[in-house]
Structure 1
Amino acid sequence: MLGATGAVGRQALASLVHGARAVQVTTLGRRPVDLPDHSRLVQHQVDIHDPSSYADCLGGQQVAICTLGVGQPSQMSKAEFTRVDKDAVLMFANACRAAGVKHFELLSSVGVDARSRSFYLRTKGELQEALEALGFERLSLFQPSMILTPTNRYGWSQALTLVVWPKLDGLLRGRLKRFRGIGVEELGRAMAVNALNEGTGVETVQWSGFKRLASQDQIR
């Protein structure tokens, strides 16, 4: 798992480590994750931009979960955003593919498109296309709209969003449901459950899929 110290990654990790189903999770990151129970957790501090620093950790792994990403893309340069959200992720995916990992899960975003005028959506769309080209047996692309956290992490703009966005859910129906906000705990749990489910091919998971997966009991 890459990106376990982020909001979604931490929730996905907690769901796997503390669930009733016995699974061992290996995390790769710049710093360790502080969880109360470490009995199912193996952590490695690595350079996320240098696959040689973690390639030896990938042997025998069946599923890779990637929730790596910058918290506030607007607060950094396009070059740095690309370096983290696209380049580091793709290097990780290539290393996983070479090590024989069968299933790759990515935390992406709703509306991504390699031909989008939006730099953010275009970059993530290019990443998704590159991942599809790698030919994993199963590729799960999680595409949330607004991720709702219990606390405000990024100042007044996020504080306003956390108040307003949930009130819009009733207006977002039909095809617009994919733009509904999703709680970070539910999203993390959905990624954890999906990692334990069987499947093949490329799948795109959006709001309705998050809700369905989070309600399942594979990890309880």
Structure 2
Amino acid sequence: MKTAIILGATGLTGGELLNRLLKDVRYKKIKLFSRSAIGLKNEKIEEHLIDLFELEKYAEDFQADEVHCCIGTTQAKTPDDETYHKIDYGIPVTAAKLAKENNIGRFLVISALGAHVNSKFFYNRTKGEMERDVLALGIPETYILQPSLIAGRREEKRPFEAAWKKVMSVGNHLLVGPLKKYRSIHAGVIADAMVYLANNKYSVIRIESDEIREIATSYR
């Protein structure tokens, strides 16, 4: 039986992923690294309430068969560029370094559609830099998921995002062919794909939104 690490289990996609792993008989322990408690009691859960900016201090506890990094913020929620970079770049890259040091052979991380180191947009450029530096570590089974707008019920209010989701719920069916990857995708679908990738080899490393949806059907 396996042990998994989740970073970002208090978030939308991380919460969906946690629910799936708790029900999955292949997993005996789920280690959560976060700043706040999940508020859920289960014998599989091992919580580590820490400052994620100091993740490297917890290398001894960072032991598992796989790591799922669901950390992410928005520029609206974190307008300071330095703090934003520390979250969306610093935490995933530090987690990948710890995984490498501790011989964890499978690392999954949520990035974003359009991520690229040369993007003129700070958000996409930060994600692109994160992808580059995670891949440079050479963890054998590394999967980078690049979803489009993530749908689902969030605890915090994101007015612009909520409005855009309403637009996308109407316009999704208009995005066909090469544009399918821009359709919004539910957090549960991403979680399904992550569980599948954590337990099966896959030939693609960077996985765009439409392919995430296809992989998720294999899990179900």
Q: Distance in 2 between matches of 1:152 and 1:168?
A: 25
Q: Does 1:50 align with 2:54?
A: yes
Task: Please list every run of at least 4 consecutive aligned residues from structure 1 whose deviation after the TM superposition is greater than 6 angstroms.
Answer: none
Partner secondary structure for residue 34 of structure 1: coil
Q: What's the offset of the Cα at 1:22?
A: 3.7
Within 5 Å, which residues of 2 pair with 1:68-217? Answer: 68-70=71-73, 72-75=74-77, 76-150=79-153, 153-199=156-202, 203-217=205-219
Q: TM-score normalised to the size of structure 1?
A: 0.89
- Aligned 8 A contact 1:65 1:104 in 2: yes
- Which protein, 1 or 2, shows the higher relative CO under an 8 Å CA cutoff with sep ≥ 6? 1
Aligned length: 214
Structure 1 counterpart of 2:67, which letter?
A
| Structure 1: 5+ residue stretches without partners | none
Q: Distance in 1 between matches of 2:107 and 2:89?
A: 15
Q: Distance in 2 between matches of 1:182 and 1:57?
A: 33
Change (3 A) 1:26 1:183: same
Task: Report what 1:41 is aligned to.
Answer: 45
Q: What's the offset of the Cα at 1:199?
A: 4.2
Q: Distance in 2 between matches of 1:196 and 1:35?
A: 25
Change (3 A) 1:32 1:167: same
| Structure 2: 5+ residue stretches without partners | 1-5
Task: Report what 2:22 is aligned to.
Answer: 17
Partner secondary structure for residue 89 of structure 2: helix
Structure 2 counterpart of 1:114, which letter?
V
Q: Distance in 2 between matches of 1:167 and 1:196?
A: 34
Structure 2 counterpart of 1:41, which letter?
I
Q: What's the offset of the Cα at 1:152?
A: 7.5
Q: Distance in 1 between matches of 2:216 and 2:86?
A: 31
Please tell me the root mean square deviation across aligned C-alpha atoms, in Å.
1.9
Q: Distance in 2 between matches of 1:10 and 1:166?
A: 22
Deviations 1:86-107 (A, max 9, x none): 1122111111110111111011
Structure 1 counterpart of 2:58, which letter?
Y
Q: What's the offset of the Cα at 1:123?
A: 0.9
Deviations 1:80-137 (A, max 9, x none): 1001111122111111110111111011000001001001101110110011110010
Structure 2 counterpart of 1:182, which letter?
I
Structure 2 counterpart of 1:213, which letter?
I
- Aligned 8 A contact 1:152 1:159 in 2: no
